[in-house]
Amino acid sequence: MASKTVSFRLPDEVVTAIEAHAKTTGQTRTAVVVDALVKALGVSRVSPDISLLQRVNALEQRVATLEQEKAQRSPSVPKVIAEHVKVK
């Protein structure tokens, strides 16, 4: 899809929401805004490959984050067994 650089004034809350979504998904701010406008306006994308790659990267980042959170919350199985089983 051909693109042009444009400027808009946005409320601080909207910019904060865009930045938060970009950080969460691993997308650029531009990608977040374009995706939202494409959905809101019902415009079809000519080259979805870029968006697909961004989404795959975002999913990989989310999986890594979830794996880290899970590792921090739940102790390993051998540790739990050792705490509950007396070793002779």
Q: Does the pLDDT value for residue 53 go beyond 90?
A: no
- Residues 11-38 have a mean pLDDT of 93
> Would you kindly state where each structural domain of the chain is located, as residue ranges?
12-84
Average pLDDT of the chain is 82
DSSP string, 23-61: HHHT--HHHHHHHHHHHHHTPPPS-HHHHHHHHHHHHHH
Q: 79 in the Ramachandran plot: left (φ > 0), alpha (ψ -120 to 50) or beta?
A: alpha
- Residues 58-84 have a mean pLDDT of 78
Q: Does the pLDDT value for residue 26 go beyond 60?
A: yes
> How many C-beta neighbours within 10 Å does residue 58 have?
16
Q: Does the pLDDT value for residue 87 go beyond 60?
A: no
Between 9-13, 27-31, 68-72, 78-82, the lowest mean confidence (pLDDT) is in 78-82
Residue 58: per-residue pLDDT: 84
